[in-house]
Amino acid sequence: MTASVSGAGDRDPGAREDEYEPDPHRWRALWVTLVAGFMSLLDVTIVAVALPTVQNDLHASAAQVQWVVSGYALTFALALVTAGRLGDALDRRRIFLLALCGFVLFSAACGAAPNITLLVVARLAQGLAAGFMAPQNSAFIQQLFRGAERGRAFGYFGATVGISSASGPLVGGTILALAETQNGWRWIFYVNIPIGILAVLLAHRLLPRTRRSAKGQVDVLGVLLLGLGVFALMYPLVQAEAGGLARLWWMFFVGLAVLTVFVRRQRRLVARGARPLLDPRLFTTVRGYAVGAGVGTLYFIGFSGVWLVFALYYQHGLHFSPLRSGLAVTPFALGSAGAAVVAGRLVDRLGRLLTVCGLAGVIVGLGGTALLLRFAPPDTAPWIAAPVLFIGGVGGGFVVSPNITMTLRDVPVRMAGAAGGALQTGQRLGAAVGTAALPGLFYLVLDQNDDYQSAVVIALSVALVMMLTSLALAAYDWRRDRRTREPHKKCPEEVANSPVHARQC
């Protein structure tokens, strides 16, 4: 049964479900937000291929240059839930425009940075701006679309997430190859400027305004508690290559303790009829939200880490150029892009089954790639593996967008920003774990036996374990869905026609 989140202080006059009127500009508005979202997510991985060049050009240490990647990921994750709540409480159009302008400005600052210190500071600010943009994307989809159109919109959103994450190495390698200078890495940031300016102009024209809620106050103490908790969990991970896991392991316990206090505070606010930063009822009464968040977090642990493992293996083990290394993993991005769009059209009919089939495809693709990289001749293995990796990409396209749709489909519009922010926070935490653990395991195996093939296979095997765990959780939700729907095959007409209960029939 579809649950709703209700209670004192929940009414938002600017975002009621029963007052929906299709916005004639909704599809063009969606494409503007997707372009901005693509830029912000691409910047998570695109910089990785340029790190050696950045290090040489700015005379930085390995630990300093690692902050160019990890600092962005850290501030990105810290901003998500707060940004989503601010969008719900105030005006998500205004939040989105300010964040997009900031992203463009800080991209320019990154490209012009004369030393590593200013580059890291600009990347921290750029990640913060990206974190304020990201939850508004899914919230706009909740606001602008209903029914089958919402599934299609989330399909495009899922394709954007998949393509941007997987194509970062290829785009970065292409830019470096075209620049052909030592300072060519700066164009990785400069390319955001013209695209971002155009997106700002179009967003200003096309995005709908949302009326400020009468109860738009933000839980400042909750913001601080959540920020401290997420920071304590992520900081040892972003410092992993500098020995952070060994030195800062105690921060994980601090983070869990702070988040426990945060959850208890949110429950007390709900009991008093006040609006919390993140409503705990999202996880307890909104059907599919808790499971979807778990599936997404586990998937991103494996998904995000494999691209760094592939880059390390191809560039250091096989001595590929950044461009060639990016081309080797492009089949996954292509498969993911096409499948995500198709999945958006099928999710209303197949539901969680799509996620189950998609995860199975990813497991086949990555498992087959691992076997080929281990036993095929090293100089030809990446190209022999391309069709298998394409299958994995198709599976990935059936994971991300259906999971986002299934997780957010029953979330009230008034909570869409916070819900999307919390979902993406889980994904960013998963990505941080994956990008720290899988390359770390790769280097550990390499240090022991100096065998690149063994290192890549073992790292991919751990990623597969995460995918299998995510598959088990998705399969559990799918079976529960079937058992829930079974008694309602023949519904009374008045129930079948209800927008709230239609999914029971």
pLDDT tens digit sequence for 318-376: 888 877 877 888 888 888 878 877 887 787 788 788 899 999 999 999 999 999 988 88
pLDDT range class, residue 14, cuts 50, 70, 90: very low
Residue 253: CB atoms within 10 Å: 11
SS (H, E, C) 144-183: HCCHHHHHHHHHHHHHHHHHHHHHHHHHHHHHHHHHCCHH
pLDDT of residue 438: 83
Apex 427 CA angle, 305 and 10, nearest 5? 180
Q: Are 336 and 163 in contact (CB under 8 A)?
A: yes
Domain layout of the chain by residue ranges: 25-208+277-504, 219-276
End-to-end C-alpha distance for the chain, whole angstroms: 10
Most confident of 10-19, 248-257, 401-410: 248-257
Task: Name the CATH superfamily, with its identifier, for domain 25-208+277-504.
Answer: MFS general substrate transporter like domains (1.20.1250.20)
H or E element in which residue 56 lies: helix 51-58
Residue 118: CB atoms within 10 Å: 14
Rounded Cα gap, residues 11 and 13, in angstroms: 6
Q: Are 62 and 230 in contact (CB under 8 A)?
A: no
Rounded Cα gap, residues 359 and 230, in angstroms: 27
pLDDT range class, residue 166, cuts 50, 70, 90: low
Taking residues 31-38, what's their average pLDDT?
90
pLDDT range class, residue 494, cuts 50, 70, 90: very low
DSSP string, 121-132: HHHHHHHHHHHH
Residue 183 gets which letter from DSSP? G
Taking residues 486-494, what's their average pLDDT?
50
Taking residues 386-401, what's their average pLDDT?
89
Taking residues 209-236, what's their average pLDDT?
74
Q: Are 221 and 65 in contact (CB under 8 A)?
A: no
Rg value, the chain, Cα: 22
- For 32-46, 54-68, 368-382, which range has the lowest pLDDT when averaged over its residues? 54-68
For the record, the structure tokens of 209 come out as: 């305004």
H or E element in which residue 114 lies: none
% of the chain at pLDDT higher than 70 = 87
pLDDT of residue 189: 92
pLDDT tens digit sequence for 151-162: 788 778 877 876
pLDDT of residue 19: 61
pLDDT of residue 421: 76
Taking residues 161-185, what's their average pLDDT?
76
DSSP string, 289-351: HHHHHHHHHHHHHHHHHHHHHHHHIIIIIS---HHHHHHHTHHHHHHHHHHHHHHHHHHHHHT
Residue 109 gets which letter from DSSP? H
